[in-house]
Amino acid sequence: MITAMRTAAAAGVATKHLAPKQAEVVGCVGAGVIGRTMIMALKEVLPNLKQIRLCDLNLQKAENLAAEFEGQIEVIPISSIEKAVSGTDVIATMTTSRKPFVKSEWIKHGAMLIQMSSFEMKTDVVKKADKIVVDSWAQMKENTHSNIYQMVESGDIDKNNIILLKDVVCGLKSGGESDDEITMFGSRGMGLPGYNDRRLPL
């Protein structure tokens, strides 16, 4: 659970700096452990958040997770990925899918994309992003399955245009800059914080 909270916390920090300021609706795919902590993080950093559409291959899991947040935030279980994410202000994917499933035509101008796995966003979605931020490029490039890494290697993305989250937080790079800008946060996870978490006294 600590690892899941840490992972979602990184996405929360990214969302604070990259998401549209008036974001009201979020589309989430994945109702597992990180799905739970992602909702926890997003409702803390999006002050205008009104609704989360939650999709999972197992609709019962989505319904059960939605019930956990009753009275805190409106979470609507949905069986269709397209209906869950289309036109939302923020899209967050937390799955173990072995193939991409988020399509470019579902993304509206000004949206923020959060990809917590290797390739949940289709290639044309990644290309559509005006700004790509990662938590750690050193970790990202070790994951040869990552669509971001693969697109850098193929020349579809310029490595110099990949921004580190720490640089955004420290003000060295800008976060979201306009209402029409599409931003993307790709997370590979950072091993050292996870190691430190396990050393914390209980």
Which is nearest to 46 in space by CA: 93, 89, 8, 87? Answer: 89
The predicted pLDDT at position 1 comes to: 59
- Give the predicted TM-score (pTM) of the model: 0.91
Considering the four listed CATH numbers 3.40.120.10, 2.60.40.1180, 2.50.20.10, 3.40.50.720, the one that applies to the domain covering 2-194 is 3.40.50.720
Per-residue tens of pLDDT for the chain, all 202 residues: 566 677 789 999 999 999 998 999 999 999 999 999 999 999 999 999 999 999 999 999 999 999 999 999 999 999 999 999 999 999 999 999 989 999 999 999 999 999 999 999 999 999 999 999 999 999 888 888 999 999 999 999 999 999 999 999 999 999 888 889 999 999 975 544 443 443 333 3
> Domain-by-domain residue ranges, the chain?
2-194
